[in-house]
Amino acid sequence: MSGPRATTERRPAPDTVSELVRWAAFSCTLVPVVLLWYGTSLAGATGTALGLAALTGACRFLLRHSERCASHRGGRHSKPNTPVD
């Protein structure tokens, strides 16, 4: 009878930025539909959709830039952890 095996394989990290952008795109679609449903003008809903899309694009750019900078520096912690006295 063998026990549970310890796996040394690492799973790839989930792409959280893509997941976030997918939800934001869903919101960019859903919010104007809800606004139209409740009687907002087509121009207002379109303006809201464009504003949300621009904000989503800017956030995606900043998140990707942040990931690139972190990987170039070697991760979040570039110095070894030392105890604080």
Q: Which amino acid is at 2?
A: S
> What letters, b where the CB count within 10 A reaches 16 and e where it falls short, cover 33-47?
eebeeeeeeeeebee
> What's the pLDDT tens digit per position in 63-72?
888 888 888 7
> What's the pLDDT tens digit per position in 4-44?
665 566 766 677 778 888 888 898 899 999 999 999 999 99
Full-prediction pTM beyond 0.75?
no
Q: What pLDDT score was predicted for residue 75?
A: 55
Q: What pLDDT score was predicted for residue 41?
A: 95
Q: Are 69 and 78 in contact (CB under 8 A)?
A: no
Q: Which amino acid is at 59?
A: C
Please provide the distance, in angstroms rounded to a whole number, between the alpha carbons at the two ends of the chain: 49
Q: How many residues comprise the chain?
A: 85
